[in-house]
Structure 1
Amino acid sequence: MDTKMPAPVLPDVADDAAAEARPLDWVGMDGLDLPLRLQDGEPPLLVPARVDVAVNLGRAGTRGIHMSRLYLLLQQQLAGEPLSAPALRRLLEACIASQQGLADRARLRIRYEHLLQRPALVSGNLGWKRYPVEVEAQLREGRLQLALGFAFEYSSTCPASAALSRQANAARFGADFAGVRPLSNEAVQAWLASERGLAATPHAQRSRAQVRVELRPSFEALPLAALVDAGEAALGTPVQTAVKREDEQAFAQANAANLMFCEDAARRIAAVLAADARIAAWQVQVAHFESLHPHDAVASVAGRNA
Structure 2
Amino acid sequence: MRLGIDWGGTKMEIIALGETGAEIYRKRVPTPRDDYRGCIETVADLITGAEAKTGQTGTIGLGIPGSISPGTGLVKNANSTWMNGMPLDKDLEARLGRPVRIENDANCLAVSEATDGAGAGAHLVHAIIIGTGCGSGIAIDGKAHRGANGIGGEWGAIPVPWMTADEFPGPESWTGHRGAIDRWCSGTGFQLDYQERAGVLLKGDEIMTRKRAGEPMAVAAYEAYVHRLARALAMSANLLDPDVFVLGGGMSNIDELYDDLPGAMMPYVFSDVYEVPIRKARHGDSSGVRGAAWLW
- TM-score scaled by length of structure 1: 0.28
Structure with more of its chain in strand, by fraction? 1
Q: Tell me which of the two structures has the higher relative contact order, counting C-alpha pairs closer than 8 angstroms and 6 or more residues apart.
A: 2
TM-score (norm: length of structure 2): 0.29
Structure possessing the higher radius of gyration over alpha carbons? 1
Higher helix proportion: 2
